[in-house]
């Protein structure tokens, strides 16, 4: 069988299985696919479908087989329910265990993701134990483990791997410094950082690696599908090919983008999961790299983040990648927010040192390149992320990089920065 024939065969199997879920019973026809192109005859599953079908409409298995429940609520507050069987969990954690970070029974892994209802902490927890390692469950949303406590655990328990969202790794370094530790030298057992939960740009990876002097390995997934990609030893994201079929589609969600272009990630679970998802539009933008990875696992992927989390100014898209590319040559780049007012780009960055500044020449170069008006303001340390109360620092929900126009205006007004001046 060719690769395509094998793929079509496994898709036909999962489609027949998915039809046992109430939601898919009428959406999937009885005719088998004869080619990958036939998959397009099945309608896209949207996040709204998941909300409407929760908690039981997507369940394709007997209740007796269920082992774990997860939920995501997003901005609408209407929850999405995802059920996992013990077999699902094992398949996912076995795949996570193949990560290039290569955990062993010598590892002590501090997991700093939320545990309540979300998936990554539980899956990683299980994967570490699958590899024989020891887990320190230091939930990121509980008052039991505020940042100073995490620094204490990192230092006292000879933690070898820290797992958290990328920005949290930067915040923990700030907290370590505030407590008198040097992140580079005072955690000699730390050998790697595993990230997940937000797009890891190459700039942020470099920044975290520079701050902690250890390599960073990324994971990509979401509550709905679990983990779908992990970094190989070359620090490139690879899809769990046997578990997922993906399509990278244009904004019409019909036609594929050209190879190497950024598009909408649509994912189909290939295993008989308790909650199968057929052509699920994840809302994330992804890019398949044109060059194969040195590790031998084929083409790696780049996750560009959520489509709604970007700014559009005169047909120019500013997503986290673009904005962190702008920030990367600056001396202050750890904590930032961006937004637009009157089709002009505003980038507000916390100062790291009193001497930090942004040259007008650099802003001019950027304006010429992007053909947009750009304002970069350096704010006092602590403006965006308050460090005055160590127990509260970094304990909020996911970080926000994009402000609304009103939020931006309020922040600028509070800092006494006039909108109409070009002064930076
Ligand atoms: Zn690779």
pLDDT in tens, 11-49: 999 999 999 999 999 999 999 999 999 999 999 999 999
Asked if residues 161 and 190 have their Cβ atoms less than 8 Å apart, the reply is yes
| Sign of torsion over alpha carbons 54, 239, 255, 12 | negative
Cα(295) to centroid(ligand 1), Å? 4
In a domain, 139, yes or no: no
Quick one: how many helices (H) and strands (E) in the chain?
11, 18
- Per residue in 311-320, pLDDT (tens digit) is 999 989 999 9
**Distance (Å) from CA 219 to ligand 1 centroid:** 13
Residue 291 has pLDDT above 60, yes or no: yes
Interval 115-143 mean pLDDT: 96
In a domain, 328, yes or no: yes
CA of 229 to the centre of ligand 1 (A): 11
Q: How far is the CA of 273 from the centre of ligand 1 (A)?
A: 26
DSSP β-ladder status, 161-164 and 108-112: parallel
Judge whether 331 lies within some domain. Answer: yes
- The alpha carbon of 203 and the centre of ligand 1 are apart by a number of angstroms equal to 19
Distance of CA 299 to the CA centre of its chain: 19
- Give the pLDDT of residue 75: 66
76 in a structural domain: no
User: What is the tens place of the pLDDT at every residue in 230-243?
Assistant: 999 999 999 999 99
Classify 196 as helix, strand or coil.
coil
Does residue 69 lie within any of the structural domains?
A: no
Evaluate whether residue 241 is within a structural domain: no
Q: How far is the CA of 230 from the centre of ligand 1 (A)?
A: 9
Is a pLDDT exceeding 80 seen at residue 302? yes
Of the pLDDT bands very low, low, confident and very high (cuts 50, 70, 90), residue 120 is very high
Say if residue 349's pLDDT is above 50: yes
Note the pLDDT of residue 420. Answer: 52
| 162 in any annotated domain | no
Tell me, in angstroms, the distance from the centre of ligand 1 to residue 286's CA.
16
Cα of 234 from ligand 1 centre, angstroms: 5
CATH classification of the domain holding 377 = 3.30.300.30
Q: Please tell me the chain's helix, strand, coil percentages from 3-state DSSP, rounded to the nearest 5.
A: 30, 25, 45
Segment 80-94 mean pLDDT = 97
Residue ranges making up the domain that contains 315: 311-414
User: Is residue 251 situated within a structural domain?
Assistant: no
Q: How many domains would you assign to the chain?
A: 1
Instruction: List, in order, residues 6 or more apart from 52 with CB less than 8 Å away.
Output: none
Task: Report d(CA 92, CA 223) in Å as an integer.
Answer: 12
Q: Is the pLDDT of residue 423 over 50?
A: no
Instruction: Determine the pLDDT at residue 415.
Output: 87
Residue 397, pLDDT score: 67
How far apart are alpha carbons 405 and 424 in whole angstroms? 18
Q: What are phi and psi of 133, to 5 degrees?
A: -80, 175
Per-residue pLDDT at 199: 94
- pLDDT (average), residues 159-183: 97
């Amino acid at each position: 069988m060719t690769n395509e024939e094998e793929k079509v065969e496994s898709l036909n199997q999962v489609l027949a299985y998915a039809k046992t879920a109430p939601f898919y019973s009428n959406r999937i026809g009885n005719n088998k696919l004869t080619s990958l192109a036939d998959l397009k005859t099945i309608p896209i599953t949207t996040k709204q479908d998941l909300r409407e079908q929760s908690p039981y409409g997507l369940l394709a298995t007997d209740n007796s087989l269920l082992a774990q429940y997860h939920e995501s609520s997003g901005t609408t507050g209407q929850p999405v329910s995802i059920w996992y069987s013990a077999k699902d969990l094992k398949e996912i954690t076995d795949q996570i265990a193949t990560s290039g970070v290569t955990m062993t029974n010598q590892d002590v892994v501090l997991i700093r993701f939320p545990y309540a209802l979300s998936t990554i902490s539980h899956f990683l927890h299980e994967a570490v134990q699958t590899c024989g390692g020891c887990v320190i469950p230091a939930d990121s949303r509980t008052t039991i483990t505020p940042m100073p406590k995490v620094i204490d655990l990192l230092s006292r328990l000879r933690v070898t791997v820290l797992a958290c969202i990328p920005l949290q790794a930067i915040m923990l370094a700030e907290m370590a410094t505030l407590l008198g530790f040097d992140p580079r030298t005072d955690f000699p057992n730390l050998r790697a950082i595993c990230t997940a939960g937000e797009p890891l740009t190459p700039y942020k990876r470099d920044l975290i690696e520079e701050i902690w002097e250890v390599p960073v390995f990324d994971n990509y997934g979401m509550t709905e599908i679990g983990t779908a990609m992990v970094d190989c030893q070359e620090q490139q994201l690879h899809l769990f090919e046997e578990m997922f079929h993906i399509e990278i589609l244009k904004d019409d969600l019909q036609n594929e983008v050209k190879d190497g272009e950024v598009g909408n990630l649509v994912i189909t679970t290939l295993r008989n999961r308790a909650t199968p998802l057929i052509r699920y539009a994840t809302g994330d933008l992804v890019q398949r790299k044109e060059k194969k990875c040195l590790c031998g696992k084929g083409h790696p992927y780049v996750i560009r983040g959520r489509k709604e989390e970007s700014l559009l100014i005169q047909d120019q898209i500013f997503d986290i990648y673009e904005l962190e590319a702008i920030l990367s040559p600056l001396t202050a780049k750890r904590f930032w927010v961006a937004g637009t007012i009157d089709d002009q780009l505003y980038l507000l960055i916390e100062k790291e040192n009193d001497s930090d500044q942004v040259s007008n020449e650099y802003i001019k170069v950027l304006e010429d390149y992007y053909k947009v008006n750009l304002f970069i303001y350096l704010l006092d340390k602590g403006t965006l992320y308050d460090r005055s109360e160590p127990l509260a620092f970094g304990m909020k929900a996911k970080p926000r990089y994009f402000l609304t126009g009103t939020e931006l205006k309020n922040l600028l007004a509070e800092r006494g920065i006039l909108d109409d001046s070009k002064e930076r």
